[in-house]
Amino acid sequence: MWTKMILSVLAAMEIGFLVWDLVSKTTHYRLKTAARFGLAAVLSLLMLLGVLQGFSRYAGIIGLLMVMGLVSLFSLRKKGEREITQPSRRVWRTVGSVWLYLTFLMPAIVFPQVEEISVTGDFPIQTALHTWTDESRAETFADSGEKRRITVQFYYPAAAGRYPLAVYSHGACATMDANDSTCRELASHGYVVAAVAHPYHAVFVKDADGVTTTVDPAFMQLAMSGPLTHTNEEMLAYYKEWMKTRTDDLHFVLDMILNRAGKNEAEVFARIDPQHIGLFGHSMGGAACEALGRQRDDIDAVIVLEGMMLGELTGTDETGFTYGNTPYPLPLLDINSDSIASRGMEQMFGSREYVNFNVVKNGTDAREVTFRNAAHMNFCDLPTVSPVMAPLFGVGSRDPRDCIITVNGIVTEYFDHYLKGESPLDIAEEY
């Protein structure tokens, strides 16, 4: 609402001055200067008052208005008000100004100011950011010989005590806060949540030292369109490589966390109960969590938010990917949209059952949950924070805010049962 209002006011101002200039056949630099500085001041005040939220959303347009005001002021002092002899030039200047306003408001258009999803738990939340270097691994996405650095965003209860640990892994080309509302919901219910950023798999990672690492272009292209341009054999090799990178990241983070928790180090580590650990992730992050559950014996439960279980794939044949039937050893919750089949899963697996459904069917304690009228991005926060971007990657017709709130409730209830031993599960098969 605020972005549309601001753009409308700015466009109306420019068009109004254009008409006035053309009718009077003279410039009005004095009033234009005052109007631009005045609007910049009003927007700044609204930001200070908290009406406009997000420096990155509105700082650009405020800065642009200040610069345009200075340009008008400079023209006024240099040449004064003057007669307009080329009306078409004045029209194009107006078009250019409106285009600049639109461009500098793009952060607010793509990521509009929306009401934050409230938590339902009673615990006040604190956060902490840590970046650790895995000295045992070279960074394969760089040729500098550097070691791989992993950044972790922690969410945890402010109150002293020991709480179960929930480790989160984001999807391909996402960010470590892609499920920020889920992480906060868990923390508000008495969990320490460690959201892991996988460098070069994330669209960007800003580490604890302020260094930003962007996604690897080759990885992004393969993750987005690889199955359409590569054979199953080629994609299987990539899947195995990606799963190893991700599970190695998660192994490293878990070992670091448990080591510090065992030493009762200050801050977040003193809050962790190392005897109760859950994993959850979205998309490729969910696949990595499921794979890690087979590799460690200290995990209590795993939740996959619409992520094809790539770690289960064993090979290929003439119809698609193959997989085994070894029972999954942990409590496993697989949450999917009803658009799975329409996204080509039947082509990838031919006449076989979708790999996730097979894993659930053969799990020792596994269940499947389906969300109707949903799609891939409904299981993270993107549709609620960027209604413009999310449809590019798949959003269902159901209300995205209601959908992620329901998902957050299910995740919390599932971990409450398996990590805290609380009341029996009341999770439906469909939502």
- Domain of residue 35 covers 2-110
Indicate the range of 163-167, 343-347, 379-383 predicted with least confidence.
Answer: 343-347
Structure tokens at 317: 């044949």
Residues 154 and 36 in one domain: no
| pLDDT tens digits, one per residue of 408-430 | 999 999 999 999 998 789 999 99
Name the domain boundary from 110, 142, 168: 110
| Residue among 108, 20, 6 at smallest CA distance from 65 | 6
Q: In this predicted structure, what is the pLDDT of residue 31?
A: 87
| pLDDT tens digits, one per residue of 372-393 | 999 999 999 999 998 888 888 8
Residues 99 and 184 in one domain: no
**pLDDT at position 85 over 80:** no
Q: In this predicted structure, what is the pLDDT of residue 53?
A: 85
When the pLDDT of each residue in the chain is averaged and rounded to a whole number, the result is: 92
Residues 337 and 241 in one domain: yes
| pLDDT tens digits, one per residue of 97-124 | 999 999 999 888 888 888 889 999 999 9
Q: In this predicted structure, what is the pLDDT of residue 103?
A: 92
Which amino acid does the sequence have at 239? Y
Indicate the range of 9-18, 150-159, 212-221 predicted with least confidence.
Answer: 9-18
Distance CA(94)–CA(83), nearest Å, equals 17
Q: In this predicted structure, what is the pLDDT of residue 276?
A: 98
Q: In this predicted structure, what is the pLDDT of residue 145?
A: 85
Instruction: Please give the residue that has the higher pLDDT: either 52 or 239.
Output: 239
Number of domains into which the chain is organized:
2
Most confident stretch, 19-23, 49-53, 57-61, 200-204: 200-204
Q: In this predicted structure, what is the pLDDT of residue 226?
A: 85
Indicate the pLDDT class of residue 80, thresholds 50, 70 and 90. confident
CB 322 within 8 A of CB 314: yes
Name the domain boundary from 110, 137, 164: 110
Residues 32 and 135 in one domain: no
**pLDDT at position 285 over 70:** yes
Indicate the pLDDT class of residue 341, thresholds 50, 70 and 90. low
Residues 179 and 95 in one domain: no
CATH number at residue 186: 3.40.50.1820
**pTM: predicted TM-score of the whole model, two decimal places:** 0.88
